[in-house]
Chains A and B, each alone.
Chain A
Amino acid sequence: MATVFLPFALRKYADGAERVVVPASTLGELIENLEAAYPGTKRHLIQDDALKPGLAAIVGLVATRRGLLQKLDDDVEVHFITAISGGASLTDRSRH
Chain B
Amino acid sequence: MVATYEPKTDYKVIGTNPIRHDGLDKVTGRAIYGGDVKAPGLIWGDVLRSPHAHARIKSIDTSAAEAMDGVFAVLTHADFPAAEEREISAGEDTVNLKRDQANVMADDKVHYKGHVVAAVAAVDRNTAQQAANAIKVKYEVLKPVSSVDAAMSKDAPIILESLVGDHLGERVPNTNVARIFRHEFGDVDAAFAASDLVIERTVTMSMIHQGYIEPHNATAIWAQDGNLTVWSSTQGSFGVRSQTAGMLGIPESRVKVNYVEIGGGFGGKTKVYFAPIAALLSKKSGGRPVKLVMDRTSVFEATGPAPGGKVRMKIGVTNGKLTAADTDLMLESGGYPGSAVGAAAICVFACYNLPSSRITGYDILVNKPKSAAYRAPGSPQASFAVETVIDEICDELGVDKIQFRLDNAAHEGTRRGDGVKFSRVGLEECLIAAKESDHWKSPLGKAPAGKARGRGIASAYWMNGGGKSTCDLMLQDDGTVMLNEGSADIGGTRTSIAMQAAEVLGIPVEDFHPSIPDTDSIGFTGVTGGSRTTYTTGLAAYNAAHKLVDELKERLADLWETEVDKIQFADGVFTANGDSIGIQELAGKLDPTGGPATATASVNLAQAGNAYGVQICDLEVDLATGKTDVIRYTAVQDVGKAVHPQYAEGQIQGGVVQGLGWALNEEYFITEDGAMANKSFLDYRMPTSLDMPMIDTIMVEVPNPLHPYGVRGVGEVPICPPLSAATQAIKQATGRSYYELPVKPGRILEAANGI
Interface residues of A (CB under 8 A from B): 5, 7-10, 12, 18, 44, 53-54, 58, 60-65, 71, 77, 79, 81-91, 93-96
By a CB distance below 8 angstroms, the chain A residues around B1 are 71
Q: Which of B68-125 contact A (CB under 8 A)?
A: 85-89, 92-94, 96
Alpha-carbon distance between A18 and B421 when the two chains are bound, in angstroms: 15
By a CB distance below 8 angstroms, the chain A residues around B421 are 61, 77
Q: Out of A63, A65, A88, which one reaches B342, CB within 8 Å?
A: A88
Minimum C-beta distance from A49 to chain B (A): 15
B226 within 8 A of A: no
Alpha-carbon distance between A79 and B606 when the two chains are bound, in angstroms: 14
Minimum C-beta distance from A48 to chain B (A): 9
Minimum C-beta distance from A12 to chain B (A): 7
Nearest-CB residue, chain B, relative to A54? B94
A91 and B169: CB pair below 8 A? yes
A87 and B96: CB pair below 8 A? yes
By a CB distance below 8 angstroms, the chain A residues around B185 are 5, 18
Minimum C-beta distance from B326 to chain A (A): 13
Q: List 21 A-B contacts (CB under 8 A).
A: A5-B419, A8-B182, A8-B184, A9-B169, A9-B182, A10-B169, A18-B184, A44-B169, A54-B89, A58-B420, A71-B1, A79-B419, A85-B93, A85-B343, A86-B331, A86-B344, A87-B96, A87-B179, A87-B336, A87-B337, A96-B166
B422 within 8 A of A: yes
B94 and A53: CB pair below 8 A? yes
Q: Which of B120-177 contact A (CB under 8 A)?
A: 162-164, 166, 168-169, 171
Minimum C-beta distance from B530 to chain A (A): 7
A86 and B706: CB pair below 8 A? no
By a CB distance below 8 angstroms, the chain B residues around A94 are 85-86
Alpha-carbon distance between A63 and B88 when the two chains are bound, in angstroms: 18
B423 and A85: CB pair below 8 A? no
A65 and B604: CB pair below 8 A? yes
B203 within 8 A of A: no
Nearest-CB residue, chain B, relative to A53? B87
Nearest-CB residue, chain B, relative to A70? B1
By a CB distance below 8 angstroms, the chain B residues around A61 are 420-423
Question: What number of A-B contacts does a CB cutoff of 8 Å give?
Answer: 134
B530 and A93: CB pair below 8 A? no
Interface residues of B (CB under 8 A from A): 1-2, 85-89, 92-94, 96, 162-164, 166, 168-169, 171, 178-179, 181-185, 331, 333, 336-344, 346, 361, 363, 373, 377-378, 418-423, 466-467, 530, 604-607, 706
Nearest-CB residue, chain A, relative to B94? A54
Alpha-carbon distance between A54 and B95 when the two chains are bound, in angstroms: 9
A86 and B164: CB pair below 8 A? no
Alpha-carbon distance between A88 and B100 when the two chains are bound, in angstroms: 13
A86 and B361: CB pair below 8 A? yes
Q: Out of B163, B423, B467, which one reaches A62, CB within 8 Å?
A: B423
A89 and B373: CB pair below 8 A? no
User: Which A-B residue pairs are the 9 nearest by beta carbons?
Assistant: A87-B338, A9-B169, A86-B341, A62-B606, A8-B182, A86-B363, A54-B94, A53-B87, A84-B343
Given contact pairs A62-B423, A62-B607, enumerate 17 new A-B contacts (beta carbons under 8 Å).
A7-B181, A8-B183, A9-B181, A9-B182, A53-B89, A62-B606, A63-B606, A71-B1, A83-B89, A83-B342, A85-B342, A86-B340, A87-B179, A87-B336, A87-B339, A90-B181, A91-B166
Q: Out of B166, B344, B378, B418, which one reaches A89, CB within 8 Å?
A: B166
Minimum C-beta distance from B727 to chain A (A): 24
Q: Out of A7, A60, A63, which one reaches B466, CB within 8 Å?
A: A63
With A18-B184, A53-B89 as known contacts, state yes or no: A8 contacts B168, CB within 8 Å.
yes
By a CB distance below 8 angstroms, the chain A residues around B86 are 53, 94
B340 and A84: CB pair below 8 A? yes
A87 and B169: CB pair below 8 A? no
A86 and B342: CB pair below 8 A? yes
Minimum C-beta distance from A74 to chain B (A): 14
With A53-B88, A53-B89 as known contacts, state yes or no: A85 contacts B184, CB within 8 Å.
no
B169 and A85: CB pair below 8 A? no
With A93-B87, A94-B85 as known contacts, state yes or no: A86 contacts B166, CB within 8 Å.
no
By a CB distance below 8 angstroms, the chain B residues around A77 are 420-421
Alpha-carbon distance between A8 and B168 when the two chains are bound, in angstroms: 7
With A54-B87, A62-B2, A87-B333 as known contacts, state yes or no: A96 contacts B163, CB within 8 Å.
yes
With A9-B169, A81-B420, A96-B164 as known contacts, state yes or no: A86 contacts B88, CB within 8 Å.
no
Alpha-carbon distance between A87 and B607 when the two chains are bound, in angstroms: 20
Nearest-CB residue, chain A, relative to B99? A87
By a CB distance below 8 angstroms, the chain A residues around B342 are 81-86, 88
Alpha-carbon distance between A94 and B163 when the two chains are bound, in angstroms: 12
Alpha-carbon distance between A64 and B86 when the two chains are bound, in angstroms: 22
Minimum C-beta distance from B127 to chain A (A): 38
Alpha-carbon distance between A64 and B341 when the two chains are bound, in angstroms: 22
